[in-house]
Amino acid sequence: MRKILGSLLIALSLFANGYKVEISKREAFVKEPLILDLKYFESNKDEIDWISFEPKRSDLYEFKVLKKGDIEGGYEFEYLLFPLKSGEIEVKFDLRLKRAPIEEIRSKTLGTGYEQTIPVEGKVYSIEVSPLLLKIKRVKKVDFYGNFKIDAKADRDRVLAYEPVYYSFSLKGVGYPPKIDEVLKDLKGVKILRDKPSKSIRYERRGAVVEYLFRYALVSDKNFTIPSLVFREFDYKDYKILKTKAFKIEVKEQKDLIDKKNSPKRIEPFYKDLLGFLKYLAVFLAGGISGVLLYIFFRNEEIERILKAKDERELLSYLVVRYPDSLSDIKESLDRAISKKESLNLRKIKREIIKRVRKMG
């Protein structure tokens, strides 16, 4: 017998009605990957229009297709099966096929024999398959089932106030796909920008091959610590604890920072009213006004700071603080460009920001 998952394949050979069911283990742990091999034997395959052989859907287990196709004297369907609950569970099956005369099938397919042009007239058969009984052992609640490695990185440990720190967390391994959508929770006094997680899952005979990547930009005006992340794992033999290192970030004050005061007013009421009046006057006289002209004529400190930003990082650090609840698409674009070391058309982006800032008043 061949080896699967490092152990002998235990066959439950059920040859009645021309089928065979094999499972790599009859006793396993919750969320342990099992190989389920289903075969259907047919002496006259030319009369088979199509065939489907799979486990029935259930909340007791999950399954993924590994392969399906013809074999000598029949058909084979291979699945990766994950038991989800402990105790004795039954895996039930659906085996259906459509049988038709050879002439009927050949006359309604093209030369390859696979491209069907007209529905084949035939009869669909459902074949009863004996359920498979599994004994599944209980597992304490953990974060990861399988063998995984985690890693965390911060691009720097010293920054100026409101300058972003880029933090990433990666998870790689084989087992049951971890169901996590967020790893870094809110930190007091820290603004966190979250990139969309990157998740790759590939199903193989050994289990689900997983690669997750979470990326963040963290901004603050005070020292802060990115905490150690702790996860519990069961590798189908032992329980383990996986930890990342903590990162202490030193934040230095920017001497030329515009917003040094706590909760400063964006614009004094009188100046705001005057600026609004001048805006409308300029629009009336000129038929429109660009962000650059607004800067030249009215010395708006917000516009000035946007225009003077020398690169993506400086522009993002200002937007995160000044506009925490808006311009999210622009902030994400800047963050992505910085993390991937891509260059953007800053002039175009600044024009768009200024346009939106003017609309916000």
- Asked if residue 202 and residue 119 are part of one domain, the reply reads no
- Asked if residue 281 and residue 175 are part of one domain, the reply reads no
- Asked if residue 304 and residue 244 are part of one domain, the reply reads no
Position 262 in a domain: no
Higher pLDDT, 123 or 95: 95
Written as one string, the DSSP assignment of 112-128 is TS--BSSPPP-EEEEE-
Q: What is the total count of domains within the chain?
A: 3
Where do we find the tokens 């993924």?
64
Please report which confidence band the pLDDT of residue 215 belongs to, taking 50, 70 and 90 as the band edges. very high
User: Which residues constitute the domain of residue 156?
Assistant: 144-252
Span 280-297, pLDDT tens digits = 444 444 444 444 444 444
- Asked if residue 317 and residue 342 are part of one domain, the reply reads yes
Span 96-125, pLDDT tens digits = 988 876 655 555 554 444 455 556 566 788
Position 50 in a domain: yes
Q: Are strands 27-29 and 132-137 parallel, antiparallel or unpaired?
A: parallel
pLDDT for res 334: 87
pLDDT for res 45: 81
Non-local (6+) Cβ contacts of 75 within 8 A are 39, 40, 42, 45, 51, 53, 68, 69
- Asked if residue 8 and residue 111 are part of one domain, the reply reads yes
